[in-house]
Structure 1
Amino acid sequence: MSCQGTPAMEDMQSKSPLLTEKQSEGFKEVAADGFVLGGFTWRHALPDIQRPVVIINAATSVRCRHYARFADYLFANGFDVITYDYRGIGESRPAIMKDLKASWTDWGAMDFEAMLKRAQREFPGQPIDVVGHSFGGCAAGLGASGQVIRRLVTVGAQFAYWRDYAPEQRWRMFGKWHLLMPLLTRFCGYFPGKRLGWLEDTPAGVVRDWSTPTGRYEQRPSGRRLLKAAGRMPFTNVRAQTLAISISDDPYGTVAAIERLLDYFSHARKTHLRIEPQDIGEQQVGHFAFFRSAYQATLWPIALTWLQTGELAPDSPGRTVPRS
């Protein structure tokens, strides 16, 4: 298999609607280590210190353009919005992937932290909220400035511990993500996901973090380095009103996986909402569909209400998961 050339298959996020050009503007932001990140801003014409700004953290190797319609929705409901790509992905992809040194912890401690700094600089005095999809929820706990987050909504958020995968799909997923993905990465110097139609091309360091079979983030390769450098994990900086949304047919976002990550946010006020597809009149939703515009009337208002009030609406679908 060649690791060069144009992808033979379109990835999932390339099929998403394009950005609404009248509402969004592109930007470049330099992280603390000098890496240049790309993203988009939805900004209202007049500043308002009462208006929150929402940072959207993408899932692993999903381009920020996948979240454009959701960003449009938040903008239309009175928020300023920042979307961005982690280093190695989309707007933040370098010319040569195999030379890129990047890990999950870099995506949180460097890239997300850069967005927190940008939000404070570009929207001074405004409340800062975060929406995190999949690993994006974990990234929200890795920024040193996490104490500035007012409200946090996560969707299917976890850090891919294989024993937490849904039992009926666990071994297939283990083979795909914990055996084949690292094998191809070793051969190519990065994971050629676009050629396979499996998300975006992914840095080797991220693959090492994802495929390491341990249930503790601080035991992942980059997590160990972070713990050694900082002396503690930064999740405790986050004191936000936190809503974790999980969908029952998401094979990554099982109750065990969601709760495993939530336990790291020990100083946050946490609510875990578990939704069955049938609760919203659907047969399936899965891991990626939440942010598709088809769910604007059924799922998006749950996140919107939490960002607006820090509470669930009384008629929210699903059930809250008891927490010990």
Structure 2
Amino acid sequence: MAWWRRKKDALERPEPGGKVSVPAGLWTKCDSCGEITYTEELVQNLRVCPVCGHHHVMPTRERIEATVDPDSWVEHDAELCSGDPLEFTDSKRYRDRIVAATKKSGRNDAFVGGIGRVDGIETSLGFFAFEFMGGSMGSVVGEKVTRVFERALDRQIPAIVYSASGGARMQEGILSLMQMAKTSAARAKLREAGLPYISVLLHPTTGGVAASFAFLGDLILAEPRALIGFAGPRVIQQTIGQELPEGFQTSEFLLEHGMVDRIVSRLEMRDQIGLLLRLMGFGEDIPRANQTMSEGVVLRENGAAPG
């Protein structure tokens, strides 16, 4: 045990037999390699393990800061919050779950939308807040996602949505499932207008979100080792009674089978999106030498990436 400890900005000797406590959250142990990293350093590295590259869960606030240019983010629709149209109750009333989730996350619902600049390019952006009821999609989330596409259409700018969700919110029943059609219809209008939509799939992206707008991007990017699919692998395995392939429903598996266009490290995501938007005709021109995409990304003549 160390012969000193820091207390109130002063070094003091611990009392004989006394314990030296470490503040909670000071260190973070990697879930993949087990390496222990100073949490502040991990946050500065966008919560990517500096040893093995494992992507830890990233709070929505930090993701927004890592994505948009400084002082360019303007949130919209922050006042929207879920009601309880079905007066749903299981082990707890739905309205009580909403109150608890709001208090825990500091947000009114599981999605944050707004306008910001990415590498200098004005963009309509949306971010799922997984810390709010697992990023589940209810009526408010569906409305907010729809407005991301509508703002892009109104301003004639690209749209980007970062998805991390457990799927449709069961407490809203069919009203939640209706959001799949609603968001997909709004996305279709953006496509008809010839405006690009980049979908970024995070860990996890499942259920009704994966089965709708998350897989309708002109370009679909994913973070490494993200769980992506409709039903979970355990449910599928129990249903079909067969062993699933190694790495089933990871972003690497989906890339190999043509469901994802590219896997991008969180450390490179912002720069890659900026480059992709410029290749799609937005922002200032860039030197031709910089227009060469990394291996695995090829744009079709119509501007969409291979799907």
Q: Does the pair score TM above 0.5? A: no
Determine which structure has greater relative contact order: mean sequence separation of CA pairs < 8 Å that are 6+ residues apart, divided by chain length. Answer: 1
Give the TM interval when normalised to the shorter protein.
0.3 to 0.5
TM-score (norm 2): 0.39
Structure 1 or 2: more helix by fraction: 1
TM-score (norm 1): 0.38
Structure number, greater radius of gyration: 2
